[in-house]
C-alpha cells in the first residue's frame, strides 16, 4: 500500500512563501498536489509526470507555485510564492496507481489519484 506523508504547512502573511514536501513509500508515474478550503470543492493545484519531469498547474497558481521532485528521495515538493489569502486551504499530496496516462496526469483531476496523504494546513493572512 502506497503511503504519502506531507509536511511543511503553516501560517504566513500575504506575499510570503512556503514549501510543502510529500514523501512517498514507492515511486509513481504521476504525483500531484490538491487543496480544499472549508465549504469548497477540492481543487487541483499541480501535477508532475515523474518520468519526464513534466509539470502541470491549475490556473489559479500558475506563475506562483512550482512542483518539483527528488527521485532519489521519492519526494515531491510544492514551492508556493506570492501567497494570497485565497490560497488558504488544506493541501493534500496524491499519487496515481501504477498505470496512468499522461493525459490523465496533466488533467489535474482528483479522480485519477487513488492514494492520498493526510493533508497539511496552509493559512495566509492579509
* DSSP structure string for the chain: ---EEEE--EEEETT--EEEEEEESS--SEEEEEEE-TTS--EEEEEEETTTTEEEE-TTTTTTEEEEEEGGGTEEEEEE-S--GGG-EEEEEEE--S---HHHHHTT-GGG--EE---EEEEEE-
Question: Residue 1: its pLDDT value, please?
Answer: 86
Question: Residue 14: its pLDDT value, please?
Answer: 98
> 10-residue block means of pLDDT along the chain (126 residues)?
94 98 95 96 97 96 98 95 98 95 96 96 97
Residue 46 phi/psi, 5-degree rounding, is -165, 150
Residue 92 is placed in which grid cell?
Answer: 493534500
Question: Residue 47: its pLDDT value, please?
Answer: 98
Report d(CA 12, CA 74) in Å as an integer: 27
Question: Residue 44: its pLDDT value, please?
Answer: 98
Question: Residue 108: its pLDDT value, please?
Answer: 96
Which residue is listed with cell 527528488?
70
Amino acid at each position: 500500500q502506497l503511503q504519502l506523508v506531507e509536511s511543511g504547512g503553516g501560517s504566513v502573511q500575504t506575499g510570503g512563501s512556503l514549501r510543502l514536501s510529500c514523501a512517498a513509500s514507492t515511486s509513481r508515474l504521476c504525483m500531484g498536489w490538491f487543496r480544499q478550503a472549508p465549504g469548497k470543492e477540492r481543487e487541483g493545484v499541480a501535477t508532475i509526470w515523474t518520468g519526464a519531469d513534466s509539470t502541470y498547474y491549475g490556473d489559479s497558481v500558475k506563475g506562483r507555485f512550482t512542483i518539483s521532485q527528488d527521485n532519489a528521495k521519492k519526494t515531491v515538493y510544492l514551492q508556493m510564492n506570492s501567497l494570497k489569502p485565497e490560497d488558504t486551504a488544506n493541501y493534500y499530496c496524491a499519487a496515481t496507481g501504477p498505470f496512468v496516462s499522461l493525459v490523465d496526469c496533466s488533467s489535474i483531476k482528483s479522480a485519477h489519484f487513488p492514494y492520498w496523504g493526510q493533508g497539511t494546513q496552509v493559512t495566509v493572512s492579509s
